[in-house]
Chains A and B, each alone.
Chain A
Amino acid sequence: MTHDTHNAPSPLPIHGIMAEFGTADDLIGATKKAKEAGFNEMDGYSPYGIPEVADILGFPRSEIGAIMFIGGMCGATCGFLMQYWANGIDYPLNIGGKPFFSWPMFGPITWELLVLTASLTGVIGMFALCGLPQPYHPVFNVPQFARATRDRFFLVIESTDPKFDRVATREFLETMTPISIAEVPE
């Protein structure tokens, strides 16, 4: 909290530098400026989703739709074949004289299994892609980050970015008049 630490960064490796903002629009503006300045390895954090930030970060479409489509199709196909195999081949049942391959009767279960598998693959897929559950992440080391789920908006420029420089990046972020700036320890 002092200017000494500001002028003399600790020698330990850091995850990045975090700037705190008071509104979603400030975060959108800051992300845009950072992108224009050539930073790519960064992330925005906010209490609710802000689509503009993800757009600027270069993540215009999520993969979830494709995953759920594939999951749903697999579930529906397997579900349909399961019914045909079980009631038509493995244990043929004559129900009211209907043919063994009475496919319209298999529709409802096929549909229910489509929804079930699509939903489960979507949820599991989202967790897997986001790397959740993740008990530890460096951003939680910063005390004010507790407000990222409350009323503050954060931009973290990560140290893996080729343009990252511990002092210059910090000064760059300061030009955007954030509420606070912090180094994020690894």
Chain B
Amino acid sequence: MATVTETTGHPPHEANGTYPPHPDGLLLGNHNLVSIGDKIAAVVLGETPTPKAWYPAFLLGMGMLSGLGVALAYLFYAGVGIWGINQPVAWGFAIINFVWWIGIGHAGTLISAILLLMHQKWRTSINRFAEAMTIFAVMCAGIFPLIHMGRPWLFYWLMPVPVNFGMWPQFRSPLTWDVFAVTTYLTVSVVFWYVGLIPDLAALRDIAKNRWQRVVYGMLAMGWRGSAIHWRRYEKLYLILAALGTPLVFSVHTVVSFDFAVAIVPLWHSTIFPPFFVAGAVFSGFAMVVWLAVPLRKFYGMGDMITTNHLNLCAKVMITTGLLVSFGYFLEVWMAFYSHSIYEVETTMQRMFGPYGWSYWVLITTNTIIPQLLWFRRVRTNDWLLFLVAGSVHIGMWFERYVIVITLSRDQLPSSWGRYAPTEWDYLTMIGSVGLFVTLFCLFLRFLPMISITEMREFLPFKQGGRDGHSVMENAT
């Protein structure tokens, strides 16, 4: 064993007295390096009892997930005919849910990467669970194109595999771009998340009392010891991953929008789609961040780290992106009439007042009108009011994709007009994907630190033992 000498002369680092409140209101409570880490770690290590609300949430998630299992089993047995899709609406719920989920995922990357590059300190306490949200949302999204293929066992045809029948993917198709965009996005998100987790896993390894926890977190931490040289490489890697993740997130949703925009369907074939889709993705993603942050505050007592000010800032991002999206709705209509194309005009009139006109007005109500409540500070800083507005955005962003996909029912030729109605299997699959997300997120809360321990320590003001910021933001070289 080591030989240890205790020398005196240095004051202990524990807090004696109270610290002044955080200048930006981004941190409450009287935290120091130990207390902030222990509070987050105690949840994972089982020292804080799991909140009672976790169990019903997990059970509900598992219940819905088993619905997905049933829906997929029958789908693989019977084929996509069990869904409501047919000509002309060949893209039904599967594509709506795909775009909806992948949009939700984008806020995680926005928070972890773009806000890092923008030196936004408030990202620190929400980036970890937002990144988890990204990964789980992309996983939910990824299911839908795969099961929509009809012969999902041939999924590897999407990849450039040099198989003996000499077939290659059609690299000029946005659908093939999508395969690469989504797989890259998932891989990079997982890698970014794991890299961020390593110092936290090492911290868990070092304070865990249970042998199994020490072994598992120790293996995951890969022997991280916090060496200054390692930190330097780590921070540089983290910075460049953020710099790559920023254009990546834009490119992914741009490619998703190309799936529509490249087709010559009226109202799809438009240049507004990429920015409009990216803004919508961030809008829905921040709504999901709010939906996750509010329970973390209420049931896990994380209100001292995810403060009211964090909710306020998320709400401001929501109102900004919400207005961008609403501008997109306006511009779609404007361009249709300005173009004098009878197809654009007729499809717009059908979209607003045709058989599915109700869905357009649901979209406008939930996505444009209700989010205007966010102009009021009282709404932005009230957990449950904000939660309700975010719920409205979830509905609205789902209907946005519904309205886009349902446009297929009214194209240029009235002879090819048709109707679309989802079946119970469509609904079961959609609810099942929500179950997958809820289950994965509950497991994440139980087994991994929901807030970055390391970054929160660094974020603490100097007097409280931290560096009052994030050295990746300031000077990673």
Whether the pair A23, B225 counts as a contact (CB closer than 8 A) is no
Q: Which of B205-246 contact A (CB under 8 A)?
A: 205-207, 219, 222-237, 240-241, 244
Closest to B203 in A: A149
Whether the pair A180, B5 counts as a contact (CB closer than 8 A) is yes
| The stretch of B74-82, B149-157, B166-174, B390-398 that contacts the partner chain | B166-174
Whether the pair B241, A122 counts as a contact (CB closer than 8 A) is yes
Report Cα–Cα, A152/B467, bound state, in Å.
14
Whether the pair A108, B255 counts as a contact (CB closer than 8 A) is yes
Which residues of A have CB within 8 Å of B174?
108
Q: Among A45, A83, A134, A181, which residue has its beta carbon within 8 angstroms of that of B171?
A: A83
Given A21-B10, A46-B231, A51-B232, A9 contacting B222 (CB threshold 8 A): no
Q: Mark A142-186, 1 if CB is under 8 A from B, else 0.
A: 111111111110000000000000000000001001111111110
Residue count of chain B within 8 Å CB distance of chain A: 82
Does any Cβ of A come within 8 Å of B366's Cβ?
no
Whether the pair A48, B458 counts as a contact (CB closer than 8 A) is yes
Which residues of B have CB within 8 Å of A135?
223
Q: How large is the interface on A (under 10, 10 to 19, 20 to 34, 35 or more residues)?
A: 35 or more
Q: Mark A39-79, 1 if CB is under 8 A from B, else 0.
A: 00001111111110110010111111100100010000000
Q: Mark B141-181, 1 if CB is under 8 A from A, else 0.
A: 00000000000000000001000001111111110110011
Which residues of B have CB within 8 Å of A37?
none
Report Cα–Cα, A148/B228, bound state, in Å.
12
Interface of B is mostly: helix
Q: Among B10, B172, B223, B240, which residue has its beta carbon within 8 angstroms of that of A132?
A: B223
Q: Among A47, A134, A137, which residue has its beta carbon within 8 angstroms of that of B203?
A: A47
Q: Which among A136, A148, A150 has the greatest number of chain B C-beta atoms within 10 A?
A: A150
Report Cα–Cα, A181/B181, bound state, in Å.
52
- Expressed in whole angstroms, the minimum distance between the Cβ of A130 and any Cβ of chain B is 5
Q: A59-B228, A108-B255 are in contact. List 15 more A-B contacts (CB 8 A).
A: A10-B3, A48-B231, A51-B471, A51-B475, A61-B477, A64-B233, A90-B168, A93-B170, A106-B171, A106-B172, A108-B251, A112-B184, A115-B244, A116-B188, A149-B207
Footprint of B on A, CB under 8 Å? Answer: 1, 3, 5-6, 9-10, 18, 21-24, 26, 31, 43-51, 53-54, 57, 59-65, 68, 72, 82-83, 86-87, 90-91, 93, 95, 98, 102, 105-106, 108-109, 111-113, 115-116, 118-120, 122-123, 125-127, 129-130, 132-137, 139-152, 174, 177-185
Q: Can you report 13 residue pairs joining A to B where beta carbons are below 8 Å apart? A: A5-B5, A6-B3, A23-B13, A48-B467, A51-B475, A65-B240, A87-B171, A95-B170, A95-B173, A108-B177, A122-B237, A142-B2, A150-B34
Footprint of A on B, CB under 8 Å? Answer: 1-7, 9-13, 32-34, 37, 160, 166-174, 176-177, 180-181, 183-184, 187-188, 191-192, 194-195, 199, 202-203, 205-207, 219, 222-237, 240-241, 244, 247-248, 251, 255, 258, 454-455, 457-458, 465-467, 471-472, 474-477
